Amino acid sequence: MNVFDAMKGRQSIRKFRKDPVPREQILRMVEAATWAPSAGNTQNVRFLVVEDPALLSRMKGIVDEILARVTGKEIPPGKINYHNLFAAAPAAVCVVGKPYESATDRQIREKDPERHRVRRYQVNAGLQSVASAITQFLLAAYSLGYGTCWMTGPLVAKPELESALSLRPPEELLAVVALGKPDSSPPKPPRKPPEEVTEFR
Ligand SMILES: Cc1cc2nc3c(=O)[nH]c(=O)nc-3n(C[C@H](O)[C@H](O)[C@H](O)COP(=O)(O)O)c2cc1C
C-alpha cells in the first residue's frame, strides 16, 4: 500500500471482531515501528502485547475504578467507553518507553536545571521518539488490514496499570493501542487543509 493511502485511510477503530491477531502479524507491525526515527537512535520503546482475556479484564477493572474515583461517576460494568475500549479488542498493545537524555542534557542537568527541565518535560525527545514509533505501528497495522485506536485515556490509571503489568522505572507506560479486525467503519474525522497549518518564511 502506498504510504499516502495508508496515512489518509487509517482511522481510529473503536469496535473490533473477536478474531485473535496472529503474532507474526503483530511482529510485522512492531518491525515497522522499530524503523521509526528516535532521538539519538535510542530506540527507547517496547511493546507489551496483552492478549490474555483475564489480564485485559483486570486492566479494564482498574481503569473503571480509577475513572469512577476521579470523576465521581460510577462506570456501569460492561460499559465500553473512551478510556476502557482496549479491553474489548483481541489485543491491547501497551506501549512502554524510557526517558531519553542526550550528552548535552547530562551536561546541563547540573549547570542549568531550568533549561534541563524544559528539555526533559516539554521538548521530551524520548516521548517524541515513542510517538513516532506508535504512528508507524498504526500505519503498518492498517496496511495489513487491522484496525487500531491509539489511547491515552486508560492512563488515567497509569501507576496502577504499570503495577498490574509489573513495569519498573525507568520504563513507563505511555499509551495503549487497541488492535484487531475492525467491526465498524466510522466516518473519518475531517482534517485542516495543509495551507492552514503551514507557514513559509
Ligand atoms: C495521543 C493520543 C491519545 C488518544 N487517546 C484516545 C483514547 O484514549 N481513546 C480514544 O477512543 N481515542 C483516543 N485517541 C484517538 C483520537 O481521538 C483520534 O486519533 C482523533 O479523533 C482523530 O481520528 P482518527 O484517528 O480516526 O483520524 C487518541 C489519539 C492520540 C494521538
**CB contact set of 87 (below 8 Å; sequence gap of 6+):** 56, 57, 59, 60, 63, 80
Residue nearest to atom 27 of ligand 1 (CA): 11
| Cis ω before 170 (30° cut-off from 0) | yes
pLDDT tier at 137 (50, 70, 90 boundaries)?
very high
Any ligand 1 atom below 6 A from CB of 102: no
* 14, 150, 191: residue to mutate for ligand 1 pocket, most atoms within 8 A of CB: 150
Does residue 77 have a pLDDT over 90? no
Distance 49 CA to ligand 1 centre (A): 19
Residue in the block written with cell 483475564: 54
Any ligand 1 atom below 6 A from CB of 11: yes
Name the burial class of residue 197, with classes exposed (0-12), middle (13-18) and buried (19+) by CB atoms within 10 angstroms of its CB: exposed
**Tell me, what's the pLDDT at 120?**
87
**Tell me, what's the pLDDT at 185?**
83
Q: Residues 93-124: pLDDT tens digits?
A: 999 999 999 999 999 999 999 999 898 889 99
Please state the pTM of the whole predicted model: 0.97
Instruction: Map out the domains of the chain with their CATH numbers.
Output: 3-184 (3.40.109.10)
pLDDT tier at 133 (50, 70, 90 boundaries)?
very high
pLDDT tier at 179 (50, 70, 90 boundaries)?
very high
How many Å apart are CA 96 and CA 170, to the nearest integer? 10
- State the average pLDDT over residues 61-77: 94
User: Side chain identity at 120, as an amino acid letter?
Assistant: R
Q: Residues 22-33: pLDDT tens digits?
A: 999 999 999 999
Does residue 184 have a pLDDT over 90? no
pLDDT tier at 78 (50, 70, 90 boundaries)?
confident
**Tell me, what's the pLDDT at 174?**
98
pLDDT tier at 142 (50, 70, 90 boundaries)?
very high
Distance 109 CA to ligand 1 centre (A): 34
Q: What is the mean pLDDT of the chain?
A: 96
**CB contact set of 148 (below 8 Å; sequence gap of 6+):** 10, 12, 13, 137, 138, 141, 142, 177, 178, 179
How many Å apart are CA 105 and CA 32, to the nearest integer? 29
Contact 47, 27 (CB under 8 A): no
More confident residue, 48 or 75: 48
Total residues found in the chain within this entry: 201
